[in-house]
Amino acid sequence: MLAIIRSRSRGPRPVSYHEGVHQLDEPDRVSILLEYPGHIHYLPQVQAGASVARGQPIGMSPVGNLVHASISGTVDDIDSVWSPDSYHVPAAVIRNDGGPSTDYEGTTGGGGDGPDWLRTLRAAGVASPWTLTGSDYREQESAPLPDIRTVVVKGVHEEPTIFTSQILLRTEPDRVRDGLRRVAEIAPGATIWLTVAKADEKWAAETFGAEARIAVLPDHYRGRIERHVVPRLAGIAIPHRAAYTESGVAVLPAEYLLAMQAALDTGQPFVSKCVTVAGDDLERAVTVRYPIGTPIRSILASQGISMDEVGRLLVGGPMKGIAQYTDRTPLTHADGIYLVSPDAVLAEVNDPCINCGRCTRACPASIQVHLVNRYAEFGLFAEAQRFHAEACHECGLCAYVCPSRRSLVQLMRLCVSEGAA
C-alpha cells in the first residue's frame, strides 16, 4: 500500500559514500585507448614487444597531444577493444610483467604549437586546454585558442552516485586552490565558478572563496544537470548540441583541474584517475584511484565484488550511464561505475503512452516530450522536429518519471538521428 502512495519526481538523490580515495594496485594489464571517436585519435609511438615505463608516451595525436603508459610493463599488442562508450577502437595493451614499477625519465616530446602552458598540458596528456572530459572536445577545434570568458569547475558530479570531485575537493584543497589560480592565469579576465554540494557550502566558501565564485548545487539530480547549470552560471543560452567553447565557456571537472595543476607545476603526466563504485547492493559508494586503462573487473575485484551479483554493469551513473557487455572493458575517462543488482534490473515495459505529461513537466529543457514520443513512435520524424528534439541531452528524467516506463530517451535519440539524416 505504501508503494502506491510514494512519489519522487525530481530525480534521485545522492547515496552515502566513503570519504577518501582507495589506491588500487597495478592491474595485470591495462588497455590504453588510442581513439575516442569524434573527439581525438592518437598514433602509436611504440611497437608490440616494447618495454615501457609508467608515464612514457605511447601515442601522439596530430596536434601533439600525448597519451602515456599508465603502468610499467611490456606492450603486448596494439589491438582493438570495446571502449566504455561502446566503440570498437584501437588500444595499446600493456602487460604488467611483474618488474619494478618505474616512472619514465626520458624526454616526452609532443606538445605541438602554442603557448608554453598549452604545450606542457598536451605533453602531460591532459588533452587540450578546455576539454578534458572529452564529451565537449573536438581536437581540431583547439587550433585557434577559444576566447574563454567563463570557466566552470565541477566540484560536484551531476550523477547522484559519483563523488570523485567532491572527495578531491575535500582531500586536496591546496592543490585545488593552486589549480584555480593556474586557470586564472591561463584565462585572464574569465569568471571562474566552482560548483559544490549543498553540504559543503560554508566550507567551500571559506576555502575557495578567494579563487572562485562558489555555486551551490542542490542534492537532487534535476538541479545538478550540467547542461542547465553551466548556461545559468555563464548567464547565456547555449544550444545543447553546441560545444561550450563556442560560447566562450570552459567546463572542467575538479579532477582535471588537479591534473592540469600537476602537469603545469611538476610536469607529471596524467596516468591515473578516480572512479566511484556504487551499487544497489553496496551500502556505501567507494572511490578508487586506478591506472588509466584498468579493466573494470580489476577494480571490482579490488573491492571484493563478484560479477555473479551484478545484473547490469554501468559505466557512469544510473541516470546517464552506459551499460557494458563485459567486465573486461578498460576504464579511461569514466568517473563512476554503477552495479545494478540482478533483481533490480528493470524490464522495458513500454506500455502505451497515457499522455499524462509527467515527462514534459519533468524535462529541464521544456521539450514537449509526450508529443515527440508519439510522433517518433509512429515514424513521423519530420513532425517531431518541430518540437526541438535536438535540445535533448539525454538526462533521462522523462523516462525516470514515466508511469508507462517507456523508452523515452531512445525515442528522443532516434528522433534526433532521424532528423539529422
Partner 1 sequence: MTRWLPQVDSTITRKLHLSVAMGPHWRSGGSLERSQGRWLLALAPAAGASLWYFGFEALRVICLTVVFSLLIDATIERMAPSRDRTSNWTSVTFAVMLALFMPFGAPWWLILVGALLMIGIGKKLFGGYGGYALHPVLAAVAMLELSWPGRFDDTAALIDFPWAASPVEPMRYAASVGGAVESLYPWQDLLLGLQVASIGNAMVLFLLAGGLFLVLVREVPWQLPLSFVTGLVATSLLVSALGDPGEFASPVFYLLAGSVGYGAFFFVTDHTTSPVGSVAMLVYGLLAGTLVMLIRGFSVHHDGVVFGILLASLAVPLIDRIARPVVGAGVPS
| Cα(151)–Cα(183) distance, integer angstroms | 8
| 144: contact with partner 1 by CB under 8 A | no
Long-range contacts of 48-53 (CB under 8 A, 24+ apart): 48/75, 48/76, 48/77, 48/78, 49/74, 49/75, 50/74, 50/75, 51/75, 52/94, 52/104, 53/102, 53/103, 53/104, 53/105
Answer for the pair 56, 106: CB distance below 8 angstroms, yes or no.
Answer: yes
Q: What angle do CA 396, 397, 401 make, to 5 degrees?
A: 120
Q: 21-60: which residues touch partner 1 (CB under 8 A)?
A: 28-29, 31
- Taking the least distance from each CB to partner 1, the nearer of 137 and 400 is 400
One of 171, 351, 379, 417 touching partner 1 (CB under 8 A): 351
| 378: contact with partner 1 by CB under 8 A | no
- Taking the least distance from each CB to partner 1, the nearer of 183 and 230 is 230
One of 71, 186, 192, 397 touching partner 1 (CB under 8 A): 397
| 303: contact with partner 1 by CB under 8 A | no
One of 63, 121, 243, 282 touching partner 1 (CB under 8 A): 243
Q: E strand or H helix at 91, and its extent?
A: strand 88-95
| 399: contact with partner 1 by CB under 8 A | yes
**204 contact partners, CB below 8 Å, separation of at least 6:** 155, 169, 194, 196, 214
| 323: contact with partner 1 by CB under 8 A | yes
Q: Which of 336, 271, 322 is nearest to 94 (CA)?
A: 271
The least distance separating partner 1 from the CB of residue 12, rounded to whole angstroms, comes to: 6
| 236: contact with partner 1 by CB under 8 A | no
The least distance separating partner 1 from the CB of residue 408, rounded to whole angstroms, comes to: 9
| 229: contact with partner 1 by CB under 8 A | no
Give the number of residues in contact with partner 1, rule: CB under 8 A: 90
Answer for the pair 70, 59: CB distance below 8 angstroms, yes or no.
Answer: no
Q: 268-287: which residues touch partner 1 (CB under 8 A)?
A: none
The least distance separating partner 1 from the CB of residue 132, rounded to whole angstroms, comes to: 20
User: Using CB under 8 A, which of the segments 58-66, 99-107, 173-181, 345-353 binds partner 1?
Assistant: 345-353
| 348: contact with partner 1 by CB under 8 A | yes
